[in-house]
Amino acid sequence: MSPTVFTNVRVFDGSGAEPFEGEVRVEAERIVQLARDGERVSREGALVIDGRGGTLMPGLVEAHAHLTWPSSVEKFVPGMHLPPEELALTAARNARILLDHGFTSAYSAGALSKKLEIVLKRHIDDGGLPGPRLVASSVERVPPVDDAQLDPGEIDEHGRGADSVRAFVKGCAAIGAKSVKFLISGESALQPGASHRLLYTEDELRAAGEQARESGVWLTGHAHAAEAVKLGVRHGFRVLYHCTYADDEALELLEQARERIFVAPTIGIVQATLDASPPPHFDMRHMKEDAAIVLERQRALVPELRRRGVKLLPGGDYGFPFNPNGRNARDLELWVRHFGYTPAEALHAATQLGGELMGMELGQVRPGFLADLLLVEGDPCRDIAVLQDKNKLKAIMKNGRFHKQPGDLQ
Residue ranges per structural domain of the chain:
4-58+361-409, 60-328
Range from 17-31, 103-117, 141-155, 229-243 carrying the lowest mean pLDDT: 141-155
The confidence band for 409, taking pLDDT boundaries of 50, 70 and 90, is low
- Average pLDDT across the chain, whole number: 94
Q: What is the pLDDT of residue 266?
A: 93
Q: What is the pLDDT of residue 329?
A: 98
CB neighbour list of residue 318: distance below 8 Å, 6 or more residues apart: 62, 64, 65, 66, 69, 268, 269, 324, 325, 326, 327, 328
Domain at 4-58+361-409, CATH from 1.10.3720.10, 3.40.50.10470, 3.65.10.10, 2.30.40.10: 2.30.40.10
Domain at 60-328, CATH from 3.20.20.140, 3.30.310.50, 3.40.50.12160, 3.40.50.10190: 3.20.20.140
Query: How would you class 244 by CB atoms within 10 Å of its CB: exposed for 0-12, middle for 13-18, buried for 19 or more?
Result: buried
Q: What is the pLDDT of residue 145?
A: 55
Q: What is the pLDDT of residue 136?
A: 97
Q: What is the pLDDT of residue 226?
A: 98
**Cβ–Cβ under 8 Å, residues 137 and 176:** no
Q: What is the pLDDT of residue 280?
A: 73
Q: At what angle do helices 267-275 and 330-339 cross, to 10 degrees?
A: 90
In this predicted model, what pLDDT tens digit does every residue of 276-313 receive, in sequence order?
Answer: 887 777 788 898 999 999 999 999 999 999 999 999 99
What is the pLDDT averaged over residues 375-380? Answer: 97
Instruction: Give yes or no for residue 410 having a pLDDT over 70.
Output: no
Instruction: Give yes or no for residue 156 having a pLDDT over 80.
Output: no
pTM of the complete model: 0.94
Instruction: Give yes or no for residue 154 having a pLDDT over 50.
Output: no
Instruction: Give yes or no for residue 22 having a pLDDT over 90.
Output: yes
In this predicted model, what pLDDT tens digit does every residue of 242-277 receive, in sequence order?
Answer: 999 999 999 999 999 999 999 999 999 999 999 988
Rg (CA), the chain: 21
What is the pLDDT averaged over residues 372-384? Answer: 97
The confidence band for 408, taking pLDDT boundaries of 50, 70 and 90, is low
Q: What is the pLDDT of residue 284?
A: 80
Q: What is the pLDDT of residue 283?
A: 80
Q: What is the pLDDT of residue 262?
A: 98
